[in-house]
Chain A
Amino acid sequence: MIKRHEFHKPNRALQLYAAFFMGLLYIPILFIPLFSFSSGLYIRFPIEGWTFQWYAQLFERTAVLRALENSVRVAGSVAVVSTLLGIFAAKALVRYRIPGKGPILGFILLPLVVPPIIFGVALLLMVSTLGIPLSLYTIAAGHIIICLPFAIATLLPRFEGYDAAMEEAAADLGENGWYVFWRVTVPIILPGIVASLLLTFTVSFDEFVMAFFLGGNDLTLPLYVWGQLRIPRAFPVVLALGTLILLFSFALVFLGLKINKRGSIKIMDRE
């Protein structure tokens, strides 16, 4: 019989600490939805009354809707492009013998760690030197740098997780390359593709620093929020908008991570 040591037993102190830690993590964020329903113009206790008026005001503002549309367009294209690039890159890194594989992967994953302001500023320098006007396209270019590591981190474990023999078998049975890719590879890595799309969409949708440096006159939602933060009177509406953004992002990321199982956590091993 396996001897049971005390480290298998539940530890009351640690359980309490876990509850405390989760509180630290979530309670600060929960003040945003809480006060978004407060009828007072100022964010303070006591809460005078409850209202939906800030949400109603939100949908009357065309600037919000336009920013939302811009954000969805940028995030949608960034998600598709970085996931497509991620599929090819992850396949290459897992399936092929490539000289300098380690450094290449390190380089691709670099934006996970390097302060985004560095990439934002450097890209801004190049874009303005070339005379390219700042627009949603320049924001998207910046977002691709940030989203690629997430796409690859999500997709790599998918390729590592299955046997290349399946593709080889299909090829041996006479299927051509594209057919093998669409009928064998894609279905197997599909959860990774969906997860990558969801995660990169959210990262781009919520990204601020790159958008701040690379944005022109068209605002994304985070840029709109930033502009409103200078006006204390606008805080209640920002809280309502923030609540919706958080809810939307949490749902997408939860779904993405759930579909992806442990992929994005496994990547931490590599660093």
Chain B
Amino acid sequence: MTITHSSDGLGTTGARRGTSSLRRLLARFESLRGLALLAPTLVILGITVIVPFLLMSAMSLWTQIGFDYADDWSVRNYTTILSEPLYTTLLLRSLGMAMAATLLTVVLAYPMAYFLAFHVHRNKLVWLIIITLPFWTSYLLRVFAWRVILGYEGVINSGLMEIGLIAEPLNVLLYSRTAVIITLAHAWAAFALLPIYVSLEKIDKSVLEASADLGEGPVMRFFRVILPLSMPGVIAGTFLMFIPTVGDYVTPALVGGPNAQMIGNLVQLQFGTVNNWPMGAALAITMILSITLVGLLFLGLMYALRRWAR
């Protein structure tokens, strides 16, 4: 397929006048022009996302034999994943740890988003930029910072020993699930905060005044007006943070010990030392499917909660 760059800005001029058939033709022409502008992006994403994803789906049904694959089209990889406790444990643990990190972040981020939406009146943009800045910059370094803090001879241990609170370094800090959850919560904070902020910001202030005029106190107003109206943001923030954190492998690799490895680490191993690519592909697809399943369950739960609240 050849890509034509018809990037002139005339798309909408002609379509206004003329007979209906001409207009229809021009409309089709117009969407063709739009598609031509989109084509480079779609072609590139087709080659780098869709084709690889189809290939990965296919390969997940193959079997690794020595250094080669057999394209024998069996679901053996998937039955192994579902029957071997190692895989199911890691999968469930990843979902659980991502959930814990998401919950922690949403709870911590909500008051901050509330503060930004209702109590910051000047320099709001600068506040938002400062909150989102770390999120844009090196993920690896932000995770490494936690290793510096939680390490055996790290900031916390050596700091506590220095002021005489502990005599021996605490072993529990680094290489634990808690370490991974804290690090994930810190690394993805902006992702959960922004949608909550946006939904709070959108609330019409006159609605709040109306509720106050009708005699509701601040607490009732929060639970009956603000919280329900900001739920779409909370749900969006939950998804935006939960989905990517399930698949993370950098954080468990750097601050999690053997008991805090996640499904991403297992996927990485299949493409590294274990060298079983079909199994890695099957694990990656299982990861996506389980994220989707949990996401749907969560949405169902929210829907049920909303009906119950009415």
Contact = CB atoms under 8 A, between A and B. Distances in A.
Interface of A: 3, 5-7, 10-11, 14-15, 17-18, 21-22, 24-26, 28-29, 31-32, 35, 42-46, 85-86, 88-89, 91-93, 95-99, 104, 107-108, 110-119, 121-126, 129, 141-142, 144-145, 148, 164, 167-168, 170-172, 176-178, 180-181, 184-185, 199, 202-203, 206, 208-209, 213, 222, 225-226, 229, 235, 238-239, 242, 245-246, 249-250, 253-254, 257-258, 261-262, 264-265, 268-269, 271
Interface of B: 5-13, 27, 30-31, 33-38, 40-42, 44-45, 48-49, 51-53, 55-56, 59, 108-109, 111-112, 114-116, 118-119, 125, 128-134, 136-142, 144-149, 151, 153-155, 157-159, 161-162, 186, 189, 194-195, 197-198, 208-209, 212-213, 218, 221, 236, 239-240, 243-250, 254, 264, 267-268, 271, 277, 280-281, 284, 287-288
Nearest to B151: A43
B134 A25 contact: yes
A225 B37 CA distance: 39
A245 B52 CA distance: 32
A183 B153 CA distance: 60
B186 A45 contact: no
Contacts, number: 297
A113 to B, nearest CB: 5
6 contacts: A17-B111, A18-B112, A44-B155, A125-B55, A222-B138, A249-B138
Given A181-B7, A242-B141, A117 B267 contact: yes
A176 B27 CA distance: 20
A15 B148 contact: no
Given A26-B134, A265-B194, A97 B38 contact: no
A5 B212 contact: yes
Given A28-B146, A121-B267, A141 B130 contact: no
Nearest to A221: B138
Given A21-B112, A28-B186, A180-B10, A250 B137 contact: yes
Contact of B34 (A28, A92, A167): A92
A45 B30 contact: no
B284 A42 contact: no
Contact of B250 (A5, A18, A26, A208): A208
A15 B119 contact: yes
Which 9 pairs between the two chains have the least Cβ-Cβ distance? A177-B8, A115-B247, A96-B34, A167-B9, A44-B158, A122-B52, A92-B37, A249-B137, A206-B138
Contacts of A88: 5, 7, 37-38, 40-41
A123 B140 contact: no
Nearest to A261: B125
B115 A14 contact: yes
Contact of B148 (A43, A141, A172): A43
B278 to A, nearest CB: 10
Given A43-B153, A229-B254, A268-B194, A168 B52 contact: no
Given A17-B111, A22-B130, A29-B134, A181 B8 contact: yes
Nearest to B108: A21
Contact of B11 (A95, A172, A213, A271): A95
Nearest to A35: B148
B38 A98 contact: yes
